Homo-oligomer: A and B are copies of this chain.
C-alpha cells in the first residue's frame, strides 16, 4: 500500500498547490525534475553523438529510439524554469532565464524543432542523414546553454 499511499500524498500535495501553472508539489521537485530530464536527454543525445561521430557502430533502431526520447524530453523541462523556481540551488541556471523568458522560450522551441527533424532523420535509417540533424540539434542545445547556463 505504500505506493498507493505515497501517490495519494503526491496527489494531495499537488492539489493543494494551485492551478495549472504550479505543477510541482515542492520547488525542489522542479529543480530535480528539470535536472533529471536534462540528464536523461543528454544520455540519449550522447548515444546519437557516438554514432554520428563514428565512435560507436551505427544502429538504426537504437538511433530512432534515442531520437524519440530526446524529442519527447525536449518538451518537458521548461515549466520547471518558471519564475517560482528561480532561486533553487545547486543549479547552473543563469538569472537571465527568469528575466528573459520570451527569449528563453524561443530557444526551447528551436530545440523542439531540431529534435523533430532529428527523429525524422533517424527514421530514414541513414547515418548520412543522421549526422547533420545531430549537428543542428547540438547547435540548438549550445545556443541555449551559451546564453542561459553557467558552465
Residue positions of A touching B, CB distance < 8 A: 1-16, 18-20, 23-25, 29, 32-33, 35-37, 39-40, 42-43, 45-47, 49-50, 52-53, 55-56, 59, 61-62, 64-66, 68-69, 71-72, 75-76, 112, 116, 119, 138, 141-142, 145, 151
Contacts and interface: CB of A to CB of B under 8 A. Distances in A.
Nearest to A33: B43
Given A11-B52, A29-B43, 10 more contacts: A1-B75, A2-B116, A3-B138, A3-B145, A10-B46, A11-B46, A18-B65, A20-B59, A23-B47, A35-B36
Nearest to A32: B39
A67 B54 CA distance: 35
